[in-house]
Structure 1
Amino acid sequence: MITANQITGLILAGGRAQRMGGIDKGLIPFHGKPLIEAAINRLKPQVSTILINANRSITKYSHYGYPVVMDETPDFSGPLAGFSVGLKHCKTPYLLTSPCDSPLLPTDLAEKMGAALEGNDLELVFASSQEDGGKIWSQPVFCLMRSNLQESLDVFLSKGDLKIDRWFTELRSGTVVFESPLAFANVNTPEELTALEKVSQ
């Protein structure tokens, strides 16, 4: 069984947040506290330590007491750039990734994905959510991966490909379906933020 002390949590706060007017998403207030605090609080019990991937507001993010790691590829290359630097700094056998703008992420994320990874001898497991109508959506930025995938990812990125799901197809990967669509709700616009605050009183 994969336990919390074998997992490093990586919170992705490196994006540009263009739909939020370019402000730093992780620092937007949610119930009066920066969004990233909700992500940290949800992730902390599931992992041994946390890394924060950010490309600006470094001082503010470092106030949380965790290492802040910046992308090593230029131009906001998306989540895979964050994965890459996270793997480089990961000292545990597994890395669990989550974006900074999903404050209701599942409290059993690591447990369920760890069981699937180990039970099916996979290298990487990503989350999927099931909508009320039964439709399944993949949530590829929520991942549990073996920390020895650095080379595979760097080779993939060196080809100039940034598509997250294309990298998954090169690995022994699988998904775990979580039945609460709200668990992966993320905040891309001010309206979404207001709506999410209402449903998570």
Structure 2
Amino acid sequence: MSRHDRLPGVILAGGQATRMGGGDKCLRRVAGKRLIDMVIDRLAPQCAPIAINANGDPSRWAEFDLPVLADSLPDHPGPLAGVLVGLDWAAGLGARAIVTVAADTPFFPRDLAARLKRAAAASGLALAASRDEHGRLWRHPTFGLWPVALREDLRTSLQGGLRKIVAWTERHGAGLAEFDSVPFDPFFNINTPEDIARAEELIA
């Protein structure tokens, strides 16, 4: 995919990481490499430019030389706030949409952006999904394609108290890009020290 064809990408790193004892979970190391580096390595061939959505002191991200986008709404309203600030950033670039990924998910698909574009609904929205071994479909709403045209609708919804991503995406009929979960779910995310051990097993 040429740089001209790529959409901006936003890494959602604004969570509280309570199950990891707080701090920036994506700076933890897995098999010697930081999660954030693994995520950037997967996203960079798919999206350009890239920004990090994170709150607090932005200087801790200085070495990455990427824009750091803090939530524009107070009280940590969740991932949709990161989507919103990403859309506002993209609007300033003249982009039509963004792709978002979670900062704690190091194995997400290398064709995520292309598959999301193909799955987009009439609204321009798409979410990633995968099926487990029982055939149940799981949406992964922090991995999505989000049109800039819906940013004011999203802002109004968040200001009105909306927090659940799927409640908003269903309202706009988001498409689903379904990914295979064999041999493991590519959206496996790291929430606990045990998850780090599992990720290291997968890498090995």
- Does the 8 Å contact 1:73/1:81 carry over to 2? yes
> Does residue 116 in structure 1 map to residue 92 in structure 2?
no
Question: Deviation per CA, 1:64-88, whole angstroms, max 9, x where unpaired?
Answer: 1110010111222110110111001
- Name the counterpart of 1:56: 56
SS of 1:10's equivalent? strand
RMSD: 1.8
Residue segments in structure 1 that go unaligned for 5+ positions in a row:
none
> Does residue 26 in structure 1 map to residue 26 in structure 2?
yes
Could you tell me how far apart the structure 1 residues matched to 2:146 and 2:4 are?
13
Residue segments in structure 2 that go unaligned for 5+ positions in a row:
none
> Does residue 147 in structure 1 map to residue 154 in structure 2?
no
What one-letter code is carried by the residue in structure 2 that aligns with 1:166?
A
Question: Deviation per CA, 1:138-163, whole angstroms, max 9, x where unpaired?
Answer: 10110012122110100111111111
Return 161-170 or 38-47, whichever deviates more: 161-170
TM-score by length of 1: 0.93
What one-letter code is carried by the residue in structure 2 that aligns with 1:64?
F
Could you tell me how far apart the structure 2 residues matched to 1:57 and 1:195 are?
30
> Does residue 199 in structure 1 map to residue 179 in structure 2?
no
Q: CA deviation at 1:2?
A: 11
Could you tell me how far apart the structure 2 residues matched to 1:94 and 1:197 are?
34
Aligned length: 199
- Name the counterpart of 2:5: 5
Do the aligned partners of residues 50 and 18 (structure 1) sit closer, same or farther apart at CA in structure 2, a change above 3 Å counting? Answer: same
Could you tell me how far apart the structure 2 residues matched to 1:4 and 1:164 are?
29
Identity value in percent: 38
Could you tell me how far apart the structure 1 residues matched to 2:20 and 2:130 are?
24
- Name the counterpart of 2:162: 161
